[in-house]
Amino acid sequence: MRLLTICLVPIAAALLLPQLPAQAAVPNVAAIVNAASYASNGVAPGETVTVFGSMMGPDSFVSGQVGADGALSTELAGVRVWFDESPAPLVYVESSFLAAIVPGSTSGKSASTVQVEYLGNRSLPMVLPIMPSSPGIFTADSSGQGPAIALNQDGSLNSASNPAQAGSTIALWATGDGQTDPAQASGLSVGVQIGGVDSAASYAKTQGLLQINAQIPVGVVSGDAVPVQVQVGQAKSQRNVSVAVAAGTGAAGREWFVSPSGQGTAAGTESDPLDLATALAGAAGRIHPGDKIWLRGGTYRPPNPNGFNSTLAGTTGSPIVIRNYQSERATLDGKGSEITLSVNGGYVWFWGLEIMDSNTTRTTNQTGGVHPNAYGVGVYAPGVRFINNVVHDTAQGFSAYDASSDSVFYGNLSYYNGFVAPDRNHGHGFYMQNIAGTKLLQDNIVGDNADEGFQIYGSGGANVVGFRVFGNASYNSSSWPTPHYQYNFLVAGGALRKDIFFNQNYSFFDPAADAGLVDFGQYTPGQDITVTNSVFAGGYTGPDVSMQAGPVVFAGNKIYVHSSAVQQARLELGPGQNTNGWTWDTNQYFGKNLFFTGTTDGNTAQGVNLDFGGWKSATGFDKNSSFSGAPPSGAWIYVRRNEYESKRANVIIYNWNLSDSVAVDLSTVLTSGDSYVIQDAQNFYAPPVAAGTYSGSPVSIPMKNLAKAAPVGFTAPAHTGPLFGTFVVLAKRSGAQ
């Protein structure tokens, strides 16, 4: 791989520098990502990053220069990359892409302002969140997925034709471990999992690069593509990276089969399946960590009013996986139950399931949250993951509180959850709290829930700590039985509220409705929060940042509210709070030229409305931001590749020109010859809105005349198209219609 070669090039062997032009245009930076994984949720000190753009350097490729001290030069062919005026070591440069190492001077910061300089001209600033660690594993084809660059114990390249033996040691290369310059005496812990099993590992650092020596665990499953993942501190590397392990050298966990007609005394085989309640209870001690439970298609109903209760317990290295079999539609229907699924055992993964309530009674004459239908999912144990599930028409989609530390909610759809009471609508897509470790909410599509989309909220005795909220879409919260829009995202309250990263999320309300909210902080004082690279469209006001002591990072966001909305953005400081150490910049505002700044006691705000110039002057914010009174134009398209299933992705489209269809580049998801379908996330179980064989060209996704599923017991609210769309790209299975 080029990067590994370049990092080792001595100065005597460096390429000759090209003749530089007398003048250069202003560099344009499009994206800054982890050089190994292409992740863009923030960077860590010492991480090698790839910068994509244009006019950032010479037309020909130039590799880095290593000085006598062994360090890479910070200036190369007229190019420099600045992190808060600290120059970054450069690995290579070229006009449209370059690689640099995040300077150690970023350690301890919450954000850094980055600019690329070429021949004295600097790009517009880009603000990046600074993470304690952000690991990525280098892969053989440089895609960030597939076989890792790995050497077997004998020094040969690991591959399907040359697998490693169980018990032997392989070498991996990664970046983003959060190293500092000078190095700290004690860094973050480094761990490796191979095939879901913890591996004995050692590591060594060089500039921008981490070599990890990991032992293939005895007993790990064998195969050509055994998953491998690196963890540094609390952060894990990308998924869908693998190494090859020789057949016969490991042992896989047992596979179990479950069906709606299964029996508790069954063998648990495909021909003699268990029932679901028995499997979730461990099948009388027969199901163990590392096992996989396949759910056949059909409808599963709880055996009692308490709903399904999972007491299965895996381990951090050997979770138990419960998954639908070969994409069959396995439905848990909680009708008549208190809750559809309770999870009371840790380290269990639920994958590809439909969780719902078919009860058509969605109204109650009682106030106070008495629910007529079953709750969806309640998580009361650590290390649980919900992956690519569909939860709908329950009293509340996902609930997970302090006991469910280090849980992951990834790629799920959550819609039409909630119920109607005399006081108000109740029930959210997600209701989350946390105190220890982290909770990851990533790439979920959430819409049309009765009350709120994402409620990351705690009362005075609860906690909102350690949330990672990445790549989610939330639209039209509280749209039925009549639109009464509430919060798409609420991060607020709690006795303790801190360590929150909110990046690349997408909010939508119909801008003409002038209703709906997004709030970061409310009711009680919070500490640090980072809100970056997100889109907030529509609403009563734009985003409201309230009661945050900081440091706060609010940067790289796009915000549009209708000209008749109340305000474009709101800032409300609590008693004794100030904006020292905050970073609020590089945002794009559209629509309403009115910004609010003031104070609040947690309930009542006092302050002034200012135009954009007055806002910048009063706050010191948005030096490099822009405002336009016109609405946005064109199309904003976001393709989010799924980390758990290959050839799957979420697509979020803001179609400002109201085009009949939008052309979407799916080259990061599909390869030529792949058969695919595209499902409308607002009508997921209907026939696909597009299908075909991928040719490598952009794929047309329709945006008009889209049908929408209806909530159980009610008529469907309006589809968000053609202005906004949420879609899921899937590989078409052989034989599927």
Query: Of 411-415, 485-489, 731-735, which range is least confident?
Result: 731-735
Query: Of 11-25, 253-267, 416-430, 606-620, which range is least confident?
Result: 11-25
Residue linked to tokens 């609390």: 234
Mean pLDDT of all residues in 78-84: 97
At residue 24, the pLDDT reads 63
* In the chain, where the domains are located: 2-129, 136-245, 635-731
Residue linked to tokens 């309530």: 357
Mean pLDDT of all residues in 145-162: 95
Q: Which two tokens stand for residue 382?
A: 């650590």
Mean pLDDT of all residues in 406-413: 98
At residue 186, the pLDDT reads 46
- Confidence bin at 628 (pLDDT 50/70/90): very high
At residue 233, the pLDDT reads 87
- Confidence bin at 187 (pLDDT 50/70/90): low
At residue 239, the pLDDT reads 87
At residue 252, the pLDDT reads 60
Residue 6 has φ and ψ, to the nearest 5°, of: -65, -40
At residue 23, the pLDDT reads 56
Average pLDDT, the chain: 92
Judge whether 2-129 and 136-245 match in fold. Answer: yes
Question: Each residue of 7-20: pLDDT tens digit?
Answer: 322 222 233 334 44
Q: What is the dihedral of CA 18, 21, 25, 27, to 10 degrees?
A: 20
User: Does residue 257 carry a pLDDT above 50?
Assistant: yes
At residue 196, the pLDDT reads 81
CATH code of 2-129, in short, is 2.60.40.10
At residue 19, the pLDDT reads 44
Does domain 136-245 fall under CATH 3.40.50? My reply is: no
Give 560's contacts (C-beta < 8 A, 6+ positions apart): 511, 536, 537, 538, 589, 590, 591, 631, 632
Residue 343 vs residues 49, 60, 308, 390, 413: alpha-carbon distances, Å: 39, 56, 9, 16, 19
Mean pLDDT of all residues in 216-233: 88
pTM to 2 decimal places: 0.91
User: Does residue 28 carry a pLDDT above 90?
Assistant: yes
In words, the CATH class of domain 635-731 is mainly beta
Query: Of 23-32, 562-571, 666-675, which range is least confident?
Result: 23-32
Q: Which two tokens stand for residue 648?
A: 């799957």
